């Protein structure tokens, strides 16, 4: 005859201990949740964004498994698209474009390139390709494109600095110190800016800057610089007078310094002389109205000699 052995129920002491352990577990969970919530509150991220992040993590895990399976099956492109679709569904798509650093550039040209990415999932935005397109804009010296999650593209532009105006046959063009053409410019806007002309003059602008730095007192009087024969400069003053300089960087700088010294003592700029030719080493040829050029040249040599004696 079989007998059934029944276990005794929990004693009151065991039951109280069990309830005590459960209560401690609940309190620990509450403290952990509060601490975690307080930590999240300190971060500069909204609750809505956190929800999107958690959703993206959850869905991303599933997509990661699908991507691994698709990659093993030789379908990485399909897996990438699936990942992008999940990101877009979670709110990670381009909805705003923030352009910074623009002063002279027409900002609409930047948006024309960037807005092509509107409503595109963030993982599908080709940052490198967008930067390359921006670098093709004439004013853009450098550009940086970055993602600001969840929905913003940030574009930082470094502009080229306008330095002179290039005179062409049919128009005036604003250029930087390296000769890069920035944009056409009207005569009114060109007033007060240094105008350069001559074949291949764009690549000589920095050379001109160094030359003018040798005689800073002359720089404010110069209206235009012509690069002649790819070897020397003719400078036109605001008075319309022309100064022809010799070949060679050192020779041009020395001649310009000498002219500045003569002008300081004799006020050549604004006087009756129409043109000054300093291509000869030992004298200055002057072109004056209704006077013989040779006589003027001799007089100029005498003036230079007198200044040297003083």
CATH topology of domain 162-309: Rossmann fold (3.40.50)
Strands 275-277 and 242-244: parallel
Cβ atoms of 217 and 260 within 8 Å: the answer is yes
Rounded to the nearest 5°, which phi and psi values hold at 155? -120, 115
pLDDT per residue of the chain (310 residues) written in tens, 0 to 9: 444 444 445 455 555 555 555 565 455 555 545 554 555 555 555 666 656 666 656 655 655 565 565 555 554 544 445 445 544 444 467 778 889 999 999 989 998 888 777 667 777 788 889 899 999 999 999 999 988 877 788 899 999 999 999 999 899 999 999 999 999 999 999 998 999 999 989 889 999 999 999 999 999 999 999 999 999 999 999 999 999 999 999 999 999 999 999 998 888 999 989 999 999 887 889 888 875 555 555 455 555 444 444 4
CATH superfamily of 96-159: membrane protein fhac (3.10.20.310)
- Record the pTM: 0.63
Q: Where are the beta strands (DSSP E) in 207-289?
A: 222-228, 232-237, 242-244, 275-277, 285-287
Crossing angle (nearest 10°) for helices 249-266 and 293-309: 80
CA–CA separation, 126 and 238 (whole Å): 51
């Amino acid at each position: 005859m079989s007998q059934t052995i029944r276990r005794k129920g929990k004693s009151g002491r065991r039951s109280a201990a069990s309830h005590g352990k459960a209560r401690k577990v609940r309190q620990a969970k509450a403290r952990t949740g509060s601490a975690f919530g307080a930590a999240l509150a300190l971060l500069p991220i909204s609750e809505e964004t956190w929800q999107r992040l958690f959703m993206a993590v959850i869905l991303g895990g599933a997509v990661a498994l699908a991507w691994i399976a698709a990659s093993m099956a030789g379908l990485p492109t399909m897996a990438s698209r699936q990942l992008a679709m999940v990101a877009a569904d979670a709110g990670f798509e381009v909805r705003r474009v923030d352009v910074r650093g623009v002063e002279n550039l027409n900002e609409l040209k930047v948006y024309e390139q960037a807005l092509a990415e509107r409503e595109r999932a963030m993982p599908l935005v080709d940052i490198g390709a967008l930067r390359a397109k921006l670098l093709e804009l004439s004013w853009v010296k450098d550009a940086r494109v970055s993602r600001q999650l969840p929905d913003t593209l940030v574009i930082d532009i470094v502009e080229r600095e306008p330095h002179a105006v290039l005179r062409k046959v049919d128009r005036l063009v604003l250029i930087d110190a390296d000769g890069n053409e920035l944009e056409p410019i009207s005569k009114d806007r060109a007033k007060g800016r240094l105008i350069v002309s001559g074949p291949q003059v764009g690549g000589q602008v920095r050379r001109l800057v160094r030359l003018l730095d040798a005689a800073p007192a002359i720089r404010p009087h110069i209206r235009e610089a012509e690069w002649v024969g790819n070897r020397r400069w003719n400078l036109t003053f605001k008075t319309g007078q022309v100064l022809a300089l010799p070949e060679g960087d050192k020779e041009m700088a020395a001649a310009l310094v000498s002219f500045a010294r003569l002008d300081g003592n004799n006020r050549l700029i604004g006087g009756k002389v129409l043109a000054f030719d300093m291509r000869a080493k030992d004298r200055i040829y002057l072109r004056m109205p209704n006077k013989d050029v040779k006589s003027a040249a001799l007089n100029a040599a005498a003036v230079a000699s007198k200044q040297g004696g003083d």
